[in-house]
Each structure stands twice: as C-alpha cells, then as structure tokens.
Copies of this chain bind each other. A is one copy, B any other.
Amino acid sequence: MADNMKDRATIYGVAKRAGVSLATVSRVINGKNNVTEKTKKQVTDAIKELGYRPSALARGLATNKSTNIGIVIPGTNYVYICNMLSGMTDIAKIYGYQTTLFVTRRSKEDAQKEIEKLISSHVDGAVIFDDELDENEIKYIQNYNIPLVVIGHEMSDERLASITLDYKSTLIDITKDYYERTPDGQINFLDITMAGNMMDDLRDNLLQYTSANGKSVSLIHSEDSYQRLYSDMKVYFETPSHRHGLFICPRDSLACAVINAAIEDGVKIPDEIEVISVVGTKYSYIVRPQVSSLEIDLFEVGSIAMRMLTKLLKGELDQKVFRFKSQFAVRGSTKK
C-alpha cells in the first residue's frame, strides 16, 4: 500500500494505474468472470498498490442496495435485548449485511424520530423490536417500501413479516394453576413505570382474567431499577400481611430485587412468597434461589427474525408469521 493515503483511492485511480477503463475495474472487484486473467492481475495489483477499497456509499447509490439492515430496539441495557441483538448480528453477518442501530429509549417521540432516520438511512430492510411503535407506525414505514420483520406484533404483508412472543397465555396458565393449588392465594404484579406496551398488555390481560374469575391482583408500583425496587421491597415486606402471595416481575434482575429483599426481611421462599420472572435469561438459573421464569430463547428469535428478513429481501419467504410461546421453567422461587 502506498504511504501517502491522504486521499482515498477511487475506482478512477485504479483504472488509470492499471491502464484500463473503470468498467473493467468494476468487473474485477465485483467478480464478473468476463475478464482476462492478465488484465485482472493488472487491476488487482493496482488495487493493492493503492490500497483501494470500494465506497459502499457510491455503490449503494448506484445499485440502490446498501447491504445494510436497520435494527430498531429500545436500548442495549437489558440482557434479553442483547441476546436478541446477538442473534440478529450473527445471521446478518452470514448473509453479508451490516447492521445499523436505531435506539428508541422507550419513548414514543424518540421512536418516531428514529423511524425517520431509518427511512432516510436507505437500509435494505429492518427488524423492529420496539413496543412503543403501534401497527399504524409500522405501516407508515411500509409506505417507503422497506422490507420489515416486526417482533411483538402479528402482522404480515407483501414485504412485512412478523414474530410474536407469547408470554400471555403462559402467564394465564400459571395463574390458573396457582389458584388451583392455592385457592386463597394473592397475586402481586410488579407494575414498573415505562416497562413498555408488552408489559402493560400483560398486566391488563392478567387483571381481566383474574377479575373475571373473582380474584384480584394487587399492583406494586416501582421503577425499573434493581436498587430502587430492592429498597422498596425491603420496606414492603416489613408489613406482616405482605409476607405471602405470588410476585410476578418483568425481568430477572427485578425478580432478584424482590427475592433478596424478602430473604433479608426473613421471608421464606417459596414457602411464604413465590416469585416469577416474565422474561427469563440465563441469570434466572445463575442466582440462588433460582428464579422460576417464562422463557423464550431470544437469541433464536433474533436469528430467525434476521433469517426471515434475508428471505423477504429475496422474495422467498413463505411463512410470514412465526410464533414463539414461552415455556414456564419451574425453579426454586416457586413451589411448583
């Protein structure tokens, strides 16, 4: 490579150096086989000497393909999201795509801004996992003909596929089972602010089911912070009447906050209280006592989403809706 690389070499420079036209250079770097070995070598030599790398920007503009796919997520601070992200990036790489992140931070406004960026960014497609966005907004993106895979809503169209995550029915099953074995049981739902639409739906669905069955769920409000919930619960369990029931928590770390606070207040688990985590990750079996949780392999969800998208891009996707149902993993924090 040349020492002086102040200006990046372009296809013109390579053509000139190799003594051929730029069309020939283009053929070589794109692996078209109608080029003589000899001229091919001239070109590759020139490329090496100049340290030439094609500009993805110019290429994208010319081909109307960016080999770039957008990923819309609320953030990268939760383990389950990162597992999913990991699945996506793995598969994207296999198919030769780059991924660019559009982080929405659990705010509707922010989500809409990011969507605008997504549209401008000229990605070849996108995977959306963000429950701030409703179906209308998804369809809005569709106006720009961006192939989409949506996680969390069931929708499909010519260039739109989706994956649903069913925590709802599993949670109802658990509830049913809980009341059967504990007729006088008490269910407590950790109602975390800004937990997202999915959690809100889950809560509402639970409330509806229980009230239809003559039971009542008590909501415990707190914030999405281990520390905060932990100290809240330390106080909570000081009240003797609070030391029983089933506690439903959105995520592992919040379930741990409840469990740790309970234990330190002398509450027996699972004898006095039971705890489950809705979105289980590996930490639910790492901590002690282990946390019973609803599980969906989110790494797999991520990989399948990305695989669906690559097929969608080729127009080869037939099954446009994919459903994941969570499995209840019974562990030490519940009796059954």
Q: What residues of chain A have their CB less than 8 Å away from a CB belonging to chain B?
A: 1-8, 51, 53-58, 60-61, 63-66, 68, 75-77, 79, 82-83, 85-86, 89-90, 93, 98-103, 116-117, 119-122, 124, 143-146, 226, 253, 256-257, 260, 263, 282-283, 286-288
Contacts and interface: CB of A to CB of B under 8 A. Distances in A.
What is the copy number of this chain in the assembly? Answer: 2
Contacts of A117: 98
A144 B61 CA distance: 21
Contact of A253 (B7, B54, B99, B286): B286
22 contacts: A2-B63, A3-B145, A4-B64, A4-B146, A5-B143, A7-B144, A53-B120, A55-B120, A76-B89, A77-B86, A82-B82, A89-B101, A90-B103, A98-B102, A101-B101, A226-B282, A253-B282, A253-B283, A257-B286, A260-B288, A287-B287, A287-B288
Contacts of A83: 77
Nearest to A114: B93
B119 A53 contact: yes
A58 B193 CA distance: 41
A12 to B, nearest CB: 15
B122 A55 contact: yes
B64 A5 contact: yes
B76 A7 contact: no
A57 B61 contact: yes
Contacts of A93: 103
A163 to B, nearest CB: 19
